[in-house]
Amino acid sequence: GSFDLLEDYALPIPMTVIAEMLGVPESDRMRFRKLSEKIISVDTNNGNLGMVLPIVRFATYLRDLYRDHRRNPKDDLLTALVEAEAEGERLDEDELLAMGLLLLIAGHETTVNLITNGTLALIENPEQMQLWHEQPDLTRSAVEELLRYYSPIEIATDRYVAVEDCELSGTPVPKGALVLAGLGSANRDERRFDNPDTLDITRDPNPHVAFGQGIHYCVGAPLARLEGEIAMRALVQRMPDIRLAVAPDSLRYRKSLFLRGLEKLPVTAGAPEKAY
């Protein structure tokens, strides 16, 4: 049958996992999805103004949730953050809000895009889909290649500011300018990868930077990898004939400077095969 892979498969898995870990009530989970979409969707004509109201709403809800966890401690990550202590000090409210916001959004948005983008990449490269279906032990290297090929995060978080006028790869960079690192571009660098525009689920080594690098390496990378491996292996083994239900040129990407994610991924497939 036909279905939207994003809404019916890619979204529920990481959303449920991160919400359970953090202690977010089930009734609030779709609300979080809608707010996070607005926060990461930046209208380049209006800067970041469109993010302000969703962030305020998110912060208001998180503040109430933290207060509830202080009064009624639970076995979840939010309670652990509230009770965390280092050198006799605890996180203040602003630090808790920033941490909660990052965990709730980054904890599911990137995995949603990994599953959705990865499925599209396999549909576009059916020989790789078939290879994975025949050799399920390729799961780990296949997911690493999907992370490289269609990186779920396009740009690293803001962290570079030019301290003086300079030039970067022939482009003038004035003092004080913000410089963003393009992870998606780095993952297609022909100096690091043979045939970078080719999807190869057997690629080894695969030094991609889909999760960043160094001290800013994504702390949620192990969880995202695990979710991606479980979700993608199940999909490939049960629905190796999955294909687009619409014309490829009708697919639309969400308006975001930071994430590469489809608005929808309508697909169709025959009866599921038995997984192994």
Cβ atoms of 19 and 32 within 8 Å: the answer is: yes
Q: Report the CATH superfamily, name and number, of domain 2-268.
A: Cytochrome P450 (1.10.630.10)
- Whole-number pLDDT of residue 147: 98
Q: What pLDDT is attached to residue 275?
A: 46
Give the Cα separation of 144 and 130 in Å (integer): 17
Q: What local confidence, expressed as pLDDT, does residue 276 receive?
A: 38
Is the distance from CB of 209 to CB of 197 less than 8 angstroms? no
Q: Phi and psi at residue 97, in whole multiples of 5°?
A: -65, -45
Query: 3-state DSSP call for residue 133?
Result: helix
Phi/psi at 50 (nearest 5 deg)?
-70, -15
- List the chain pLDDT tens, one digit each, 276 residues: 899 999 999 999 998 898 898 888 888 888 877 777 777 765 555 555 666 788 888 889 889 989 999 999 999 999 999 998 777 888 898 888 888 887 877 778 889 999 999 999 999 999 999 999 999 999 999 999 999 999 998 888 766 889 999 998 899 999 999 888 899 999 999 999 999 999 999 999 999 999 998 888 888 899 999 999 999 999 999 999 999 999 999 999 988 878 899 999 999 998 666 543
Q: Report the distance separating Cα 118 and Cα 133, nearest Å.
A: 14
Four-residue CA torsion sign, 198, 204, 210, 214: negative
Beta strand spans in the chain (E)? 2-4, 85-86, 89-90, 160-161, 166-168, 171-173, 178-179, 243-244, 266-268
What pLDDT was estimated at residue 103?
81
Map tokens 């410089």 to a residue: 179
Q: Which residue matches tokens 């269609």?
A: 150
